[in-house]
Amino acid sequence: MINRQGPRSYDLWGVPFDGGSTLGRPGSRYAPDRIRQALGWITQRVQDGRIYSLESDTVFDIGDDLLRDRGDAPVTGHDLAATTDACSAVVTESLRAGRVPIVLGGDDALLFPVARGVHDALEGRVGIIHFDAHLDLLDHNPHQGKFSQSSGMRRSLELARISAADCVQVGSRHFNFPTSGDFKHTHGLSHITAGEFQALGPAQAARQILDHVSGADHLFLSFDIDAIDPAYAPGSGAHEPGGLTSGEALEVVRLLAPHCTAMALTEVNPMVDLHDATTTLAAYLLFHFAVFGCRPAPRLERH
């Protein structure tokens, strides 16, 4: 895995599209604007390009261009293909400019176009760290087609330089399509269930995740908010009890961020959120990704 040298800067792109929400609740199209509002509450604490972290008792010099809001990618509400093409294009644009894209969905059908954007912009093997309650490995069914929120990981694994050997799914739980389970076993796709993650704790889980994807040259962190338990993230496309806590999610994102070259944060649904709890958590996840990821990746001790 490549450890990038020197400080990095980030592009924030919204993709306000939930046309791939063929299961669960639509409404994630409203998330980018609401997450931006919550992000403003965090970033107003930046003074002269510096911010203080209470957990580490450290002042971080993040500069004046750590996180640049690029607005929304062009979305065509009735055209999934046009929207996914636009999403891939902005990801590729940021990476070719030497910046790290953070994509705010929108639903998790965006997993595939973000993965494709990384794949098309960079040479070498691309790995995916996929936080999600669900597998997203469905090939096709009459209700959802081939490019819904249930198929993003399946479509990503069809790209030439993304293989199951370089990917890991984290936070999965409960029940899924038998054909998706068959695909996972046939292709050797690794997973860490929510229960296994909680038993390991964020630090050990991060080490295992990075071990799983150590052959990749570039890593894409795809984070569906339903990886987190609905007690902490009630505003999601679907509720699956037994997920990660908000603290566990923030800590593992902090640990993984320096190793990743792109992030997507999907399925936040302000229409069913409770007092903006989920949009606020999403804002903290992306800000942790930027602040703790902007410097070269540290060595993680292996046990």
pLDDT tens-digit series, residues 83-100:
999 999 999 999 999 999
Within-domain flag for 3: no
CATH number where 262 lies: 3.40.800.10
Inter-residue contact 92 to 2 (CB < 8 Å): no
Domain hosting residue 85, numbered range: 10-293
Within-domain flag for 300: no
pLDDT tens, residue by residue, 265-295 = 999 999 999 999 999 999 999 999 999 999 7
pLDDT band at 299 (very low <50, low <70, confident <90, very high): low
Inter-residue contact 290 to 10 (CB < 8 Å): yes
Within-domain flag for 299: no
HSE (side-chain half, CA atoms, 13 Å) at 296: 7
The radius of gyration computed from the CA coordinates of the chain, to the nearest angstrom, equals 17
Q: Is it the case that residue 66 has pLDDT exceeding 70?
A: yes
Q: What is the mean pLDDT of the chain?
A: 93
Give the distance, in angstroms, between the CA of residue 272 and the centroid of all CA atoms in the same chain: 20
Please give the average per-residue pLDDT across 90-112, as a whole number. 96
Within-domain flag for 36: yes
Residue with tokens 């062009």: 74
Within-domain flag for 281: yes
Kindly state the DSSP code that residue 302 receives in the 8-state scheme: P
**Number of domains observed in the structure of the chain:** 1
- Say what the pTM is: 0.94
Report pLDDT for 30.
Answer: 98
CA distance 49 to 56: 18
Within-domain flag for 251: yes
Within-domain flag for 301: no
